[in-house]
């Protein structure tokens, strides 16, 4: 690997409430870097590539789960919350990662998965064995079925497709654990991810203990998985609406949560109030970020009230189509909603659950499918990358915090021609092979264009194959190359920091306030213009372009964002 020295100037002293304007880079451990050559990313691999993040200029990283897990859902099925899966290394590897990150001035946020455990967790194994009515079963959502146990307790569907209930005697471990009863257990995701019973004080106490375990180690915060899902409406009433979080094609966040009995129940907020007090006992401004697919934004903002979490991903922004009026609207609504509770807006365009924005913004016919398969209409790679760069440059000028997903700084597209036989996402299996699922955004990173496996690790092996297009996009082919996506991100992050954009204020430019093709705003002295139309747009006289997402010759061309400062400023 290229081991560019990281100098003291890249180490940023962390201000108080660092999370208000931080740029946080998501690392998906399976796919970031592999140190031991088994084709699967690991913690030592991540540590070896941390210089890349420091050079890029982000403030923190968020690690998706690396805990002990059968990996039925890429680690979001946790069997032991206090240990590292051997696939990813050891607790000592985690300590080394944390120490190196902190030495580089990078904060570390880890993923907490409190809604469900793996079915291989000791609690669930004990629950199967102990039988109905036992304290072991009371940690999960076991219920008697209807029609003498023949039918599930209600009609809920799993987010991944299929029913959200499995009958005990149908569980693969039932026989060897002697579980012969016909109770059912709830799993809002895969049948190997049983939902915990959050009205049980033992569950609450255990998760606080898990928080403390990692806080004591020195982590700077937690991204809270399915933060809107832990409490269900009493009585578990039937629900005929959509439960999927990664929706098919509407272009809107799927959960209109106002009515859903499984999401966004008032009781979840009590949990975060308690966690808030736990974090406050620790020094260094530790933070919680909600993964909550909740609409409208005013309901989402409740998760970031002063005594709850610090951040909540703005998925309304992520799901907004490439349309000037829609973007202005979501930005205004977001800033208003989060301002109302005194929280920063937390912008995001890509993560490990959605089609990468370099592909999503060029899907023929629009929409937001859950993955793309080889025989389906393919995104235009050139158009997608142009729009992705423009979208990112716009996002990084917005006041608040922002999350980046590994590889977007290289302009990586979704892998849209992955062989179906290689798919691993449970959504692919649970939808009867109708939805491709999320594997296409989880492909191992290309670090070196000429190396086997594109430098993912010391062997040629990668747990998913990389598409041909990743070679040219490898990090070493972009470092120091003017105009590359990597250099665009680096420049934008440096300017964002220099100009204090994350802590700034947004003012729409009157002349474009209703323009069908142009989004234009000011953040302090900076003028930001995105052209979503066809005709080039003039930068006002007296302004000098300081960063541009693409070539600017005669005005701002189509699908391009520029940052401009008053001349002589």
Catalytic residues: 225, 281
Closer by beta carbon to ligand GLC, 437 or else 557:
437
Compute the least distance from the CB of residue 224 to ligand GLC, in Å.
Answer: 10
Helix (H) or strand (E) run with residue 411 in it = none
Closer by beta carbon to ligand GLC, 28 or else 322:
28
Measured at CB, which residue is nearest to ligand GLC? 76
Closer by beta carbon to ligand GLC, 162 or else 449:
162
Judge residue 151's burial from the number of C-beta atoms within 10 Å of its C-beta, 0-12 exposed, 13-18 middle, 19 or more buried.
middle
Compute the least distance from the CB of residue 338 to ligand GLC, in Å.
Answer: 21
Compute the least distance from the CB of residue 260 to ligand GLC, in Å.
Answer: 15
**Cβ-Cβ contacts under 8 Å for 310 (sequence gap 6 or more):** 17, 19, 221, 287, 288, 289, 304, 343
Please say whether the beta carbons of 422 and 437 come within 8 A: no
CA dist list (Å): 512 to 361, 402, 507, 522: 22, 25, 11, 12
Closest alpha carbon to 415 in 375, 356, 365: 356
Helix (H) or strand (E) run with residue 340 in it = helix 324-340
Closer by beta carbon to ligand GLC, 351 or else 549:
351
Interacting residues with ligand GLC (CB under 6 A):
73, 76, 113, 189, 225-226, 245, 291, 352-353
Closer by beta carbon to ligand GLC, 47 or else 244:
244
**Three-class SS of residue 402?**
strand
CA dist list (Å): 373 to 348, 351, 363, 440, 465: 24, 19, 12, 9, 15
Compute the least distance from the CB of residue 524 to ligand GLC, in Å.
Answer: 34
Compute the least distance from the CB of residue 205 to ligand GLC, in Å.
Answer: 22
**Three-class SS of residue 370?**
coil
Compute the least distance from the CB of residue 340 to ligand GLC, in Å.
Answer: 26
For residues 189 and 187, give the distance between their C-alpha atoms in angstroms, rounded to a whole number.
Answer: 5
Closer by beta carbon to ligand GLC, 225 or else 308:
225
For residues 209 and 192, give the distance between their C-alpha atoms in angstroms, rounded to a whole number.
Answer: 23
Instruction: Give me 36's structure tokens.
Output: 């031991």
CA dist list (Å): 359 to 33, 168, 350, 380, 385: 23, 41, 10, 7, 7
**Three-class SS of residue 10?**
helix
Compute the least distance from the CB of residue 272 to ligand GLC, in Å.
Answer: 17
Angle subtended at Cα 364 by Cα 358 and Cα 368, rounded to the nearest 5 degrees: 65
Please say whether the beta carbons of 152 and 165 come within 8 A: yes
> What pairs with residue 521 in β-bridges?
508, 528
Closer by beta carbon to ligand GLC, 73 or else 264:
73
């Amino acid at each position: 690997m290229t081991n560019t020295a990281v100098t003291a100037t890249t180490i940023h002293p962390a201000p108080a409430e660092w999370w208000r304007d931080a740029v946080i880079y998501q690392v998906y451990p399976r796919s970031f870097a592999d140190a031991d050559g088994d084709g699967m990313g690991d913690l030592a691999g991540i540590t070896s590539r941390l210089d890349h993040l420091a050079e890029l200029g982000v403030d923190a990283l968020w690690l998706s789960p690396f805990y002990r897990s059968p990996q039925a859902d890429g680690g979001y099925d946790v069997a032991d919350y206090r240990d590292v899966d051997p696939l990813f290394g050891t607790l000592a590897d985690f300590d080394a990662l944390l120490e190196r990150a902190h030495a580089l001035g990078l904060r570390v946020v880890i993923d907490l998965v409190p809604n469900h455990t793996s079915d291989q967790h000791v609690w669930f194994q004990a629950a199967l064995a102990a039988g109905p009515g036992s304290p072991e079963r009371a940690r999960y959502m076991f219920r008697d079925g209807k029609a003498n146990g023949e039918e599930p307790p209600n009609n809920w569907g799993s987010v991944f497709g299929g029913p959200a209930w499995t009958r005990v005697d149908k569980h693969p471990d039932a026989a060897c654990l002697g579980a012969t009863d016909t109770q059912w257990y709830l799993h809002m995701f895969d049948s190997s991810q049983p939902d915990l019973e959050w009205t049980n004080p033992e569950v609450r106490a255990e998760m606080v203990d898990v928080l403390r375990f990692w806080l004591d180690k020195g982590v700077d915060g937690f991204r809270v998985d399915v933060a809107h899902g832990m409490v269900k409406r009493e009585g578990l009433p039937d629900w005929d609406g959509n439960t999927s979080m990664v929706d098919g094609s509407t272009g809107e966040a799927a959960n209109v949560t106002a009515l859903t009995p499984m999401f966004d129940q008032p009781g979840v907020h009590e949990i975060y109030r308690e966690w808030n007090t736990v974090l406050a006992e620790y020094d260094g401004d530790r933070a919680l970020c909600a993964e909550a697919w909740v609409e409208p934004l005013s309901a989402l903002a409740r998760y970031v009230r002063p005594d709850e979490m610090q951040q909540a991903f703005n998925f309304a922004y992520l799901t907004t189509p490439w349309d000037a009026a829609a973007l202005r609207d979501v930005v205004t609504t977001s800033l208003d909603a989060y301002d109302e509770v005194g929280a920063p807006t937390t912008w995001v365009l890509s993560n490990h659950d959605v089609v990468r924005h370099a592909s999503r913004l060029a899907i023929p016919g629009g929409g937001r499918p859950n993955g793309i398969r080889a025989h389906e209409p393919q995104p235009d790679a050139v158009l997608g990358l142009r729009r992705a760069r423009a979208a990112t440059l716009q996002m990084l000028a917005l006041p608040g915090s922002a999350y980046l997903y590994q590889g977007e700084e290289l302009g990586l597209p979704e892998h849209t021609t992955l062989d179906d036989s290689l798919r691993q996402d449970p959504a692919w299996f649970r939808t009867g092979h109708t939805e491709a699922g999320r594997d296409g955004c989880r492909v191992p990173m290309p670090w070196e264009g000429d190396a086997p496996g594109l430098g993912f690790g010391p062997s040629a092996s990668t747990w998913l194959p990389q598409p041909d297009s990743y070679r040219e996009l490898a990090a070493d082919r972009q470092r120091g190359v003017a105009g590359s996506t990597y250099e665009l991100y680096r420049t934008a992050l440096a300017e964002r920091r220099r100009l204090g954009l994350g802590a700034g204020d947004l003012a729409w430019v009157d002349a474009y306030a209703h323009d069908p093709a142009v989004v234009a705003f000011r953040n302090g002295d900076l003028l930001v213009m995105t052209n979503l139309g066809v005709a080039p747009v003039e930068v006002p006289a007296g302004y000098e372009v300081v960063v541009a997402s693409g070539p600017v010759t005669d005005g701002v061309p189509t699908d391009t964002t520029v940052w401009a400062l008053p001349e002589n400023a």
